[in-house]
Amino acid sequence: MASAFLKIPLLVSICFLSVNGYAQSVTINTNNAPADTSAILDISSSTKGMLVPRMTAQQKNAIFTPATGLLIYQTDGDSGFYYFNGSSWLLLITSNVSTDKQNTLIYTTKGF
């Protein structure tokens, strides 16, 4: 009887060990195209944009150990897109580059 109780956990353990894990990508689109294999998340649309989290400066600064590369939109103070570079929050600054008021990000080898 005791050996039957030992076989069940052993069988369950073997089942879990034999399951292979595969990396998956997620796609969000309207044309059922598969996700690009190099992306964990692949979003595409020709009619809509992506909305990142919006928060105040106080809420942004209250994020406990933000990940390097984390992106948010700050709604108060110096509003705009901020990203965390691993040690501090930096504002993505835009600059007027033409008479039709289009903005672009200015990036150099030293950063923004």
**44 and 56 within one domain:** no
**Consecutive H or E run containing 110:** none
Answer yes or no: do 34 and 58 share one domain: no
Mean pLDDT, consecutive 10-residue segments, the chain of 112 residues? 58 52 78 90 92 97 96 95 96 66 57 57
pLDDT at position 13: 57
Residue 82: is it exposed, middle or buried by C-beta count within 10 angstroms (0-12/13-18/19+)? buried
Are residues 55 and 44 located together in one domain of the fold? no
Model confidence, pTM: 0.60
CB proximity list for 95: less than 8 A, separation 6 or greater:
103, 104, 106
Structural domain includes residue 11 = no
| 74-104: pLDDT as tens digits | 999 999 999 999 999 999 976 655 555 555 5
Residue 33 and residue 70 in one domain: no
What total number of domains does the chain contain? 2
Q: What are phi and psi of 91, to 5 degrees?
A: -85, 130
Q: Is residue 14 domain-resident? A: no
Residue 35 is part of which domain span? 20-49
Q: What's the pLDDT at 25?
A: 87
